């Protein structure tokens, strides 16, 4: 009896489905959306209803949800060019997508069938996207304060696509092939596409984030055994859409989304590995690139574009600076210290000598927290290959460690010179010799003097690494992100990166021209010596654009940043100030146009700020900057 009931029930279900599909599958939908296609404009059988002066009937209003968004809402742009491009490329997409889908789906299907003994095989017999291409109902772009592009794109697809799959079922010694076909897919969805982050290197796009703003409307014909359309059975279509809502709700329905990386790591650089402290002590035997005395200063770069410089020492070929600077080290294996010594002239600065120290295998990197003295030979820019050097390439002199007994003129009497640590390509040939069975390099003699430095490297704690409970200030350092301003103290430290983007509509000088530049000054309550960054000067431009970045390293979260906009002195002002320059006095040479002050705590609380601020103490002018905060903690070694 039980076997008979099971057999009868199974036959009843199959028979009912077959009868229902046969009956309802022959019915025709009352709505037709043929008039929504652009081809209807050239079809005389499609009549244009005369609605002038009369209310729109319900039959026409019901069609509005299926019309493109650009026909209903003025903030959507029409995308006919994009639809025409997709229509032209659709036959190529058809073949490419079908081939890719079969190649990727077949291994996954075979892997899933290993635990189902009844299903012996599932074969994809056909994937045909049909002749009707996907259509975009418009595009709406959003303006946001973040560095991203956000688009809202409605998608419609009234297709004659076909996907046919055959499943082989095994019962004992018998096998049954059941063909399943999906066709005539009707899709309507509204997607939000976010392009972020926008970066400065090609392809200028880190990742694409996609989410659906609502549950997509899907209709299709699902046939088994060639002619039975199961989707025609009342209620089954509703069940399919409900299943889509449940399946996509945790994956794609906003606020959930899926992200596809375009660049490695989604365009987000890995966290920095450490802080390099460089103390510029002095230089010996500097040669002038021009005529007369030299007014030297040193420019140092580790991160591309983040240049730091010393003060200018006037009329001195053996200057002493004793200035200390901090730099971020992202990857010691690929980064190098670029050293440029310049002559500070009134009209323009002249490069007198260059050098470069690769960080890979450097003694101060291999021995963290130890102070390593280094002597760097300088060479002429043309001898060191300046064309490559400026772009971050090679072309430098030898680097020699020196001891504590080094005097102003070099090594003291009896002081032994250590082995040469690193070399660059000098433009000439280095001579090899055999010294004790080992190769030694004879470095060409420096022709632009030597710079003496002290290096000290401090690694950062690895990203996500928990600080030990007994480390003072460790817990505070890990809690900085998103912390309220009231909870921040001087013990919270990190790296502040400022991107100076542009100024807008600056006040003209009395002569009607303005040559602006910006000074960024940090007021740290913990460190008394405030660090100042100066931007390049842009001549005769009331709305200059820089897009330069500056780092303030291991500063207190309670610090304050002041951005002051100046107008550089003109040519005639420079001529008038020549007597002061010749006497060794620094001319004023600048006029303040306005300033702003920003609390670093505001950046810490929001993690980053991107805004335009009106200049204080000025009748007009604005400044646009981006400020980013990264909490960091030094590794205890």
Instruction: Looking at the structure, tell me whether residues 252 and 289 fall in a common domain.
Output: no
User: Is residue 410 over pLDDT 50?
Assistant: no
User: How much of the chain, in percent, has pLDDT values that exceed 70?
Assistant: 72
Which of 21-25, 165-169, 328-332 shows the highest mean pLDDT? Answer: 328-332
Distance CA(296)–CA(319), nearest Å, equals: 7
Instruction: Looking at the structure, tell me whether residues 449 and 586 fall in a common domain.
Output: no
Of 435, 459, 483, the one marking the end of a domain is 459
With CA atoms as reference, report the closest residue to 396 among 354, 362, 444: 354
With CA atoms as reference, report the closest residue to 69 among 61, 78, 60: 78
Instruction: Looking at the structure, tell me whether residues 407 and 299 fall in a common domain.
Output: yes
Domain-embedded: residue 467: no
Instruction: Looking at the structure, tell me whether residues 85 and 108 fall in a common domain.
Output: yes
Q: What letter does residue 510 receive in the DSSP assignment?
A: T
The string over 593-631, giving b where at least 16 C-beta atoms fall within 10 Å of a residue's C-beta and e elsewhere, is: bbbbebebbebbbeebbbeebebeebeebbbbbbbbbbb
Q: What letter does residue 616 receive in the DSSP assignment?
A: B
Domain-embedded: residue 27: no
With CA atoms as reference, report the closest residue to 561 among 619, 505, 623: 623
Residue 174 C-alpha from the chain's centroid: 58
Burial of 127 (0-12, 13-18, 19+ CB in 10 A): buried
Q: What letter does residue 194 receive in the DSSP assignment?
A: E
User: Is residue 420 over pLDDT 50?
Assistant: no
Instruction: Looking at the structure, tell me whether residues 442 and 481 fall in a common domain.
Output: no
Q: What is the mean pLDDT of residues 535-539?
A: 91
> Of residues 626 and 632, which shows the higher confidence score?
626
**Which pair of structure tokens corresponds to residue 298?**
């040193």
Distance CA(594)–CA(582), nearest Å, equals: 30
Distance CA(193)–CA(55), nearest Å, equals: 37
- pLDDT, averaged across the chain: 76
Tell me what pLDDT residue 36 has.
Answer: 55
Longest dimension (CA), the chain: 118
Instruction: Looking at the structure, tell me whether residues 371 and 250 fall in a common domain.
Output: no
Domain-embedded: residue 50: no
- At 431, the pLDDT band (50, 70, 90 cuts) reads very low
- At 70, the pLDDT band (50, 70, 90 cuts) reads confident
**Which pair of structure tokens corresponds to residue 1?**
């009896």
CATH of the domain at 395: 2.60.40.150
- At 117, the pLDDT band (50, 70, 90 cuts) reads confident
Domain-embedded: residue 434: yes
Place of tokens 């989604």: 266
Query: What is the number of other CB atoms lying within 10 angstroms of the CB of residue 39?
Result: 9
Q: How many domains does the chain have?
A: 3
Domain-embedded: residue 589: yes
With CA atoms as reference, report the closest residue to 218 among 182, 266, 263, 169: 182
Domain-embedded: residue 67: yes
Instruction: Looking at the structure, tell me whether residues 207 and 310 fall in a common domain.
Output: no
Tell me what pLDDT residue 552 has.
Answer: 92
Distance CA(291)–CA(293), nearest Å, equals: 7
> Of residues 98 and 25, which shows the higher confidence score?
98
Q: Is the peptide bond before 45 cis (omega within 30 degrees of 0)?
A: no
Dihedral of alpha carbons 110, 114, 116, 119, sign = positive
**Planar angle of CA 108, 109, 114, nearest 5 degrees:** 100
> 507 with 514: CB under 8 angstroms?
yes
Q: Are strands 174-195 and 149-158 parallel, antiparallel or unpaired?
A: antiparallel
The per-residue pLDDT for range 357-376, each reduced to its tens digit, is 999 989 999 999 899 999 99
Domain-embedded: residue 15: no
**Which pair of structure tokens corresponds to residue 364?**
């101060």
Instruction: Looking at the structure, tell me whether residues 71 and 147 fall in a common domain.
Output: yes
Q: Cα dist. 431→88, 393, 444 in Å?
A: 64, 22, 9
User: Is residue 579 over pLDDT 60?
Assistant: no
> What pTM, to 2 d.p., does this model score?
0.66
> 129 with 100: CB under 8 angstroms?
no
**Planar angle of CA 372, 373, 379, nearest 5 degrees:** 125
Place of tokens 């960080």: 359
Domain range for 193: 63-267
Rounded to 10 degrees, the C-alpha dihedral 102/104/110/113 comes to -100
Tell me what pLDDT residue 29 has.
Answer: 44
Tell me what pLDDT residue 373 has.
Answer: 94
- At 304, the pLDDT band (50, 70, 90 cuts) reads confident
Instruction: Looking at the structure, tell me whether residues 478 and 591 fall in a common domain.
Output: yes
Collapsed DSSP state (helix, strand, coil) of residue 404: coil
**Which pair of structure tokens corresponds to residue 415?**
């002081």
Instruction: Looking at the structure, tell me whether residues 483 and 614 fall in a common domain.
Output: yes
With CA atoms as reference, report the closest residue to 156 among 189, 130, 131, 184: 189
- At 138, the pLDDT band (50, 70, 90 cuts) reads very high
User: Is residue 297 over pLDDT 50?
Assistant: yes
- Give CB contacts under 8 A, 24+ apart, made by 65-69: 65/188, 66/33, 66/36, 66/156, 66/188, 67/36, 67/137, 68/135, 68/137, 68/138, 68/154, 68/156, 69/137, 69/138, 69/140, 69/154
Residue 114 C-alpha from the chain's centroid: 42
Q: What is the radius of gyration, based on Cα positions, of the chain?
A: 36
With CA atoms as reference, report the closest residue to 129 among 161, 158, 106, 81: 161
The per-residue pLDDT for range 205-257, each reduced to its tens digit, is 889 999 999 888 888 888 876 666 677 777 777 777 777 777 777 778 888 88
Distance CA(614)–CA(612), nearest Å, equals: 7
Instruction: Looking at the structure, tell me whether residues 239 and 278 fall in a common domain.
Output: no
The DSSP string of 195-232 is E--B-SSTT-B-EEEEEESSPPEEEEEEEETTTEEGGG
With CA atoms as reference, report the closest residue to 556 among 524, 589, 599: 524
Distance CA(339)–CA(515), nearest Å, equals: 28
Q: Which of 150-154, 415-419, 543-547, 621-625 has the lowest mean pLDDT?
A: 415-419
Instruction: Looking at the structure, tell me whether residues 233 and 295 fall in a common domain.
Output: no
Q: Which of 22-31, 32-41, 247-256 has the lowest mean pLDDT?
A: 22-31
Tell me what pLDDT residue 211 has.
Answer: 92
Domain-embedded: residue 20: no
């Amino acid at each position: 009896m039980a076997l008979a009931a099971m057999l009868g029930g199974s036959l009843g279900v199959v028979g009912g489905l077959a009868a229902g599909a046969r009956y309802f599958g022959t019915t025709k939908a009352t709505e037709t959306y043929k008039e929504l296609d652009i081809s209807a404009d050239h079809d005389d059988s499609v009549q244009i209803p005369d609605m002038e002066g009369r209310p729109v009937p319900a039959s026409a209003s019901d069609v509005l949800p299926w019309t493109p968004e650009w026909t209903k809402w003025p903030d959507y742009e029409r995308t006919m060019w994009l639809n025409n491009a997709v229509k032209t490329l659709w036959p190529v997409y058809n073949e490419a997508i079908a081939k890719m889908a079969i190649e990727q789906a077949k291994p996954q299907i075979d892997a899933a069938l290993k635990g189902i003994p009844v299903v012996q095989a599932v074969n994809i017999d056909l994937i045909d996207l049909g002749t009707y291409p996907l259509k975009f109902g418009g595009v709406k772009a959003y303006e946001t304060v973040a560095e991203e592009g956000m688009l809202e794109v409605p998608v419609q697809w009234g297709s004659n696509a076909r996907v046919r799959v055959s499943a082989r079922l095994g019962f004992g010694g018998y096998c049954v092939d059941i063909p399943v076909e999906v066709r005539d897919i009707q899709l309507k969805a509204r997607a939000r596409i976010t392009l972020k982050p926008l970066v400065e290197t090609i392809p200028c796009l880190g990742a694409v984030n996609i989410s659906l703003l609502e549950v997509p409307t899907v209709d299709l014909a699902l046939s088994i055994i060639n002619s039975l359309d199961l989707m025609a059975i009342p209620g089954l279509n509703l069940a399919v859409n409900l299943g889509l809502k449940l399946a996509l709700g945790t994956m794609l329905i906003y606020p959930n989304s899926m992200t596809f990386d375009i660049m490695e790591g989604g365009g987000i650089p890995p966290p920095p590995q450490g802080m390099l402290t460089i103390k510029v002590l002095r230089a010996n035997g500097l040669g002038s690139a021009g005529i007369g005395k030299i007014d030297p200063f040193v420019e140092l770069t580790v991160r591309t574009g983040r240049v730091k410089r010393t003060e200018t020492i006037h009329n001195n070929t053996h200057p002493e600076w004793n200035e200390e600077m901090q730099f971020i080290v992202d990857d010691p294996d690929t980064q190098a210290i670029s050293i440029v010594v310049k002559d500070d002239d009134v009209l323009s600065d002249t490069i007198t000598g260059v050098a470069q120290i690769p960080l890979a295998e450097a003694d101060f990197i291999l021995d963290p927290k130890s102070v390593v003295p280094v002597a760097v030979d300088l060479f002429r820019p043309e001898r060191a290959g300046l064309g490559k050097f400026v772009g971050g390439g090679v072309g430098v002199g030898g680097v020699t460690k020196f001891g504590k007994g080094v005097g102003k003129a070099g090594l003291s009497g009896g002081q032994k010179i250590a082995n040469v640590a690193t070399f660059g390509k000098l433009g000439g040939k280095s001579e090899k010799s055999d010294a004790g069975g080992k190769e030694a390099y004879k470095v060409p003699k420096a022709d632009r003097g030597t710079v003496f430095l002290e290096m000290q490297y401090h690694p950062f704690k690895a990203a996500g690494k928990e600080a030990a409970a007994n480390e003072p200030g460790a817990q505070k350092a890990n809690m900085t992100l998103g912390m309220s301003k009231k909870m921040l103290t001087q013990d919270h430290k990190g790296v502040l990166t400022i991107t100076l983007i542009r100024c807008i509509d600056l006040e003209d000088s009395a002569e009607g021209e303005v040559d602006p530049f910006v000074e960024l000054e940090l007021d740290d309550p913990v460190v008394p010596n405030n660090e100042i960054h100066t931007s390049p000067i842009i001549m005769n431009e009331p709305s200059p654009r820089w897009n330069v970045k500056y780092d303030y390293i291991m500063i207190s979260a309670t610090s304050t940043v002041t951005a002051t906009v100046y107008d550089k002195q003109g040519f005639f002002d420079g001529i008038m100030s020549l007597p002061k320059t010749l006497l060794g006095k620094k001319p004023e040479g600048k006029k303040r146009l306005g300033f702003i002050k920003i609390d670093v705590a505001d950046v810490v609380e929001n993690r980053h700020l991107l805004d335009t601020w009106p200049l204080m103490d000025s009748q007009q002018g604005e400044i646009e900057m981006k400020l980013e905060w990264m909490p960091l903690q030094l590794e205890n070694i």
